[in-house]
Structure 1
Amino acid sequence: METFPKIISVDDHTVEPPHVWRDRLPSRHREAGPRIVRAPLKEMTFVGGKFAPTMGEPGDEGPLADWWVYEDLRRPLTRLDTAVGYDRDEVRLEAITYEQMRPGSYDVRARLADMDVNHVQSALCFPTFPRFCGQTFTEAEDRELGLLGVRAYNDWMVEEWCGPQAQGRLIPLTLVPLWDAELAAAEVRRNAARGVRAVCFSEIPPRLGLPSVHTDAWDPFLRACDETGTVVAMHIGSSSRMPSTSEDAPPAVGSTITFANCCLSMVDWLMSGVFDRFPHLKIMYAEGQIGWIPYILERADVVWEENRGWGGVADKVLRPPSELFAAHVYGCFFDDAFGLRNVESIGVPNILYETDYPHSDSTWPRSREVGEEQMGHLSADVVERIVRGNAIDLLGLTDDGLWPGP
């Protein structure tokens, strides 16, 4: 293409610097809050979709790593958290320190420089230590500290990560206390009042021991999102269980079918009646790709029409699922040539672009080249919508693609 639009990535990631909770929790909670400890790695596996690291004691053999320590959790930084800048064959399941990662993973100025290299103007970033929808705090024993941890993260996200030095190029994405829908609603409204238009949520809440979207348990949270124009952002793995086929399946199996959780989740939402109760609600699926969407919509419409007598949706899903999708759902991709050959079957207004920086799947520093290769058959106005226009509309950005701030 002669000119490729400046990218607005709706799925990148931040690796939180060590000071996030140390600086922002009340002083009486800092010793118990999330903190970094440098210690050896004894063992680490990732099979059957399950990540299992073991932290060593001082003096033990094993590579040194930086570990997040919080209650009983011991979670090391890993090469999979921040793989950009490394040859693909060098990206292995290993624990690392901050010094062993690209600074753009955790430093704002370095991130902006890496965005420049990659033809990216603006980026929405999911968390790392809290996990993709704040499961770390949801699983904590101390609910008071967990709520403070969520709020501290959000304050850091808005005031520092997306603060003045980001120049409007980093777009805030916040967490909520998933264990209490009323508290979640209050946190949505608190952050919406300072310009936040996206919040993390679980793709499949029951896998976290939480109510499904088929109940009314989430209504306070969803109402807050509906009324404030806050998009519900769901990342693959935000149910704490990556797709896999068996306990001994290698990670490559799960990596091939990562879209599967998004597929399951989208059908849940389309068949839940939520969109009829909350007509302005928008949801998005980060890193789920888009090639699978046309068939699921076709099948969902058939089931909605043909199985209404016994399907359990006749009284609550008032429009065909494909119509609900068009009005409420966004699919996000970083590398999906098949999906881009079928954009008309998905809907151009429902597609968003991402780069997945700094993860191992990231197209950095070739996101522009990948886009040009896969979108060459599309008209310039369609490319503009997919690469940035849809994100501007969804996230309430300026016409120039920047976060306007509080």
Structure 2
Amino acid sequence: MESFPEIISVDDHTVEPAGVWRDRLPSRYRDTGPHVVRAPVKEMTFVGGKFAPRMGEPGDDGPIADWWVYEDLRRPLTRLDTAVGYSRDEVRLEGITYQQMRPGSYSVPERLADMDINHVRSALCFPTFPRFCGQTFTEAKDRDLALLCLRAYNDWMVEEWCGPQARGRLIPLTLIPLWDAELAAREVRRNAERGVRAVCFSEIPPRLGLPSIHSDAWDPFLGACDETGTVIAMHIGSSSQMPSTSSDAPPAVGSTITFANCCYSMVDWLMSGKFERFPNLRIMYAEGQIGWMPYVLERADVVWEENRGWGGVADKVLRPPSELFAEHVYGCFFDDAFGLRNLDAIGVGSVLYETDYPHSDSTWPKSKEVGESQMGHLPQDVVERIVCGNAIELLGLTHNGLWPGAAR
């Protein structure tokens, strides 16, 4: 390998600064919208794929954490939100404060410095408090306030996190009001006018109590993405249910099979007929890895070829699923040597690289070294496509991997 190109990470994360909503909501909502309080942790468990924290009262015993408070929700910052800078053995399920995390988690200058350490040119960042596709606001009781909160987050994402101080190196990823597809379409278009080319969505919407992708309910949203070239980004856990096998399974079980929801979701999309109806749609699976894809595509093609007559897809899926995959679907990985050894069965143009900063799975600060070790057998031009070229094309970046909207 001649040289390892600078990375464009399509899956990093931001921990929102404490003032994101208080600084942007109308004054009458500043105490009822999301805000941070410091309080003890009374209890915190993560079993069977479910995270269950309990906040103590001031004066109670217990470790102190910074908690997001919003309606009935009490959600602490945890070490799993931001684990970079700690050894693997030090990363535990525990509440933390902003002072106990690496500043690059929430501060743009420090984030850029940590990207420099990690050979990262630019990065697309998913949210933390809103959750991976804005479930926090979807579950809220006051939908008017929820919409204001969601738009405030998008404004912060575009204007500050990805604003002038980021110098084009942070790529905006916005949210939609999942409870209303027409409103979602408007939000996609509002942000597209600002140069945004990626939006969060749920990998399995029915698990959030929403219509499936097989229905027509999402068509206004899908139409807006199709028209504006907005990529639909789905992160593992964006269905609010991490894969698990039982209610008492330890987190290690779910962590091993995190790709499972992406697998289910991808088959949903390939068999939905949506790619036929919206030919410009592009979807990506953040942190889903890629090693599982070849067999699923092989099986999907067999089912489509042999069983489409009774399988309910003959009149809407007009080409083999593997062909639709090659044109519309992107798998994202940070550590997947097996997938890279089977790249010919996935397709060079369907793969994107990520670093997952600042989560516990992140390869920071050695994402370059991991990539070199796993891609050493690949030609230089293939490495460049995986590490940066595909992302540049997909997200509408400049030739050197920057977000052009930052210059507006």
Q: TM-score, normalised by structure 2?
A: 0.99
Partner of 2:342: 342
- 2:360 aligns to what SS in structure 1? coil
Q: Give runs of aligned pairs for residues 141-180 of structure 1, distance below 5 A.
A: 141-180=141-180
Q: In the alignment, which residue of structure 2 is the partner of 1:387? A: 387
* Distance in 2 between residues matched to 1:149 and 1:312, nearest whole Å: 40
Other-structure match for 1:13: 13
Which amino acid in 1 is paired with 2:256? T
CA offsets per residue over residues 21-40 of structure 1, 9 Å max, x none? 00011111111100000000
SS at match of 1:99: helix
Letter in 2 for 1:75: R
* CA distance, structure 2, for counterparts of residue 25 and residue 319 of structure 1: 47
**Alpha-carbon deviation of 1:124?**
0.1
Q: Which amino acid aligns with 1:288?
A: G
Matched residue, 2:41: 41
Q: Tell me the alpha carbon deviations over residues 39-77 of structure 1, each in whole angstroms, 9 at most, x when there is no partner.
A: 000010000000000000000000110000000000000
Which amino acid in structure 2 is aligned with residue 363 of structure 1? Answer: T
Task: Classify the secondary structure of the residue corresponding to 2:37.
Answer: strand
Equivalent AA in structure 1 for residue 268 of structure 2: D
CA distance in 2, matches of 1:287, 1:28: 38
* 2:109 equivalent to 1:109: yes
Counterpart of 1:253, as a letter, is V
- Counterpart-to-counterpart distance in 1, 2:165 and 2:212: 39
Q: Tell me if 1:100 matches 2:100.
A: yes
What secondary structure sits across from 2:299 in the alignment? helix
Q: How does 1:240-255 map to 2 (within 5 A)?
A: 240-255=240-255
1:317-336 equivalence runs, <5 A: 317-336=317-336
Tell me which amino acid in the other structure corresponds to 2:201: F
Aligned-partner residue type, residue 298 of structure 2? E
CA distance in 2, matches of 1:101, 1:29: 28
Give the paired residue count.
406
Please, what is the CA RMSD of the aligned residues?
0.5
Aligned to 1:314: 314
User: How many Å separate the matches in 2 of 1:57 and 1:29?
Assistant: 23
Map of 2:65 onto structure 1: 65
The alignment partner of 2:45 has SS state of strand
Secondary structure of the structure 2 residue equivalent to 1:281: coil
4+ residue runs over 2 A deviation: none
CA distance in 1, matches of 2:64, 2:326: 49
How many angstroms apart in 2 are the aligned matches of 1:75 and 1:42? 12
Match of 1:307, SS? Answer: helix
Deviation track 1:221-258 (CA, whole Å, cap 9, x = no partner) reads 00000000000000000000000000000000000000
Give the letter aligned to residue 199 of structure 1.
Answer: V
Q: Separation in 1 of the partners of 2:121 and 2:218?
A: 34
Counterpart Cα distance in 2 of 1:308 and 1:259: 26
Alignment of 1:387-406 (within 5 A): 387-405=387-405, 406=408
Q: Which amino acid aligns with 2:41?
A: L
The alpha-carbon deviation at position 2 of structure 1 amounts to 3.6
Per-residue CA deviation, residues 62-110 of structure 1 (Å, 9 max, x unaligned), is 0110000000000000000000000110000000000000000000000
- Could you tell me how far apart the structure 1 residues matched to 2:309 and 2:389 are? 41
Partner in structure 2 of residue 303 of structure 1:
303
Task: Give SS of 1:83's match.
Answer: coil
Cα offsets for 1:230-289 (capped at 9, x unmatched): 000000000000000000000000000000000000000000000000000000000000
- Could you tell me which residue of structure 2 aligns to residue 287 of structure 1? 287
1:132 partnered with 2:132? yes
Cα distance in 2 for partners of 1:302, 1:392 equals: 33
CA distance in 1, matches of 2:255, 2:225: 31
- CA contact under 8 A between 2:2 and 2:380: conserved in structure 1? no
Counterpart contact for 2:37–2:67, Cα < 8 Å: yes
CA deviations on 1:310-342 (whole Å, 9 max, x unpaired) are: 100001111110000001000000000000001
Distance 2:212 2:314 in 1: 19
Q: Tell me what 1:261 maps to.
A: 261
Query: How far apart, CA to CA, are the structure 2 residues paired with 1:3 and 1:294?
Result: 28
Which aligned pairs between 1:361-372 and structure 2 lie closer than 5 A? 361-372=361-372
Whole-Å Cα distance in 1 between the matches of residues 403 and 330 of structure 2? 19
Q: Secondary structure at the match of 2:390?
A: helix
Q: Distance in 1 between matches of 2:304 and 2:2?
A: 44
What is the alpha-carbon distance in structure 2 between the residues aligned to residue 2 and residue 17 of structure 1?
40
Structure 2 segments unaligned to the other structure (5+ residues): none
CA distance in 2, matches of 1:102, 1:172: 21
The gaps in structure 1 that reach 5 residues or longer are none
Local SS of the residue matching 1:363: coil
What per-residue deviation string (whole Å, max 9, x for no partner) do you get for residues 197-218 of structure 1?
A: 0000000000000000000000
Q: Secondary structure at the match of 2:22?
A: helix
